[in-house]
Amino acid sequence: MRYRLHIPTTLDQALELKRSTGGTYLAAGTVILVNHSHAEDLISLEKIPGLKSIEDSGEAITIGALVTFDEIEKCRCIMDKLPSLHQAACLTAGPQIRHRATIGGNIGCFSPASDAVTALVALDAQVELYDGSYHRMPVEGLRELKDGSIITSVIVPTRFCFSAFEKVGKRNAMSVSVLNMALAGDGKLFRLAAGCTAPHVLFCSRTSALLSTDAVDMEKAKDALVSEIRPIDDRWGTVEYRKAVSRNLLEKLVSEAGL
């Protein structure tokens, strides 16, 4: 199969190319290289300015869509203020992939096993989209890119005094998650997210509500979690295994949070 590579220098040029060719946006290409489900026209976003910065406003950290996992791993403000996202970045694939893979591409591939998206959902992050104008929406609600929309950044609030990420894989950080989980809290409100437990990364609302009470009943929280998740059997793990792992990861995260 032959491909045509387009290299626009503005968001509007990229949007027009998407609408005229039906092409596939290209960030780092780490997903496209293995899934082979893209169009003949590839639209590189690499030369578009403004997509590679990390900005800390105090209330939130804005991460450009083309920021790599290696850059997230090395960023001091993310390490200090968003530890769950930092942990997820460190555990994503291997060093070579982290050096190329981008946060926007990771969100845009809509994988239920995305380590970073699990952390972002727990942190109540928003994604900024461009379709001729700019829009924001919660990462947890993004299921597809409509009308050729381009992910330009992710905005992550820094209000949570605690956040942590845990992952279980077949071997190590280079393996796909069998299950991952992140918890974020401000002392009163806690948000739990889980990956590999549904067709998309799942915000566990009922479990989060139980964790946000004054006296946390751990067994009730575990039961609520198992009732919320919808794992499947696949080559990485069975339904029952994922349910058992989810209970264990929840207990570990709750212990880390001191609940």
Tens digits of per-residue pLDDT, 110-155?
Answer: 999 899 999 999 999 999 999 999 999 999 999 999 989 999 999 9
Tens digits of per-residue pLDDT, 237-255?
Answer: 899 999 999 999 999 999 9
Q: What's the CATH number for 162-257?
A: 3.30.390.50
pLDDT of 173: 47
Nearest to 78 by CA among 65, 98, 62: 62
Q: How many CB atoms lie within 10 A of CB 252?
A: 14
Instruction: Tell me the whole-structure pTM to 2 decimals.
Output: 0.93
Task: Report the chain's C-alpha Rg in angstroms.
Answer: 18
Q: How many CB atoms lie within 10 A of CB 170?
A: 12
Query: Are 75 and 82 a contacting pair, CB within 8 Å?
Result: no
Evaluated on CA atoms 36, 42, 47, 51, the torsion sign reads negative
- Residue identified by tokens 């949070």 is 257
Same topology, domains 54-157 and 162-257? Answer is no
Query: Are 180 and 165 a contacting pair, CB within 8 Å?
Result: yes
Q: Is 118 helix (H, G, I), strand (E, B) or coil?
A: helix
The CATH number, out of the four listed (3.40.30.120, 3.20.20.70, 3.30.465.10, 1.10.1670.10), of the domain defined by the range 54-157: 3.30.465.10
Domain boundaries, the chain: 4-44, 54-157, 162-257
Mean pLDDT taken over the chain: 92
Q: Which two tokens stand for residue 192?
A: 């739990």
* H/E run at residue 5: strand 4-6
Tens digits of per-residue pLDDT, 175-206?
Answer: 678 999 999 999 899 999 999 999 999 999 99
pLDDT of 38: 64
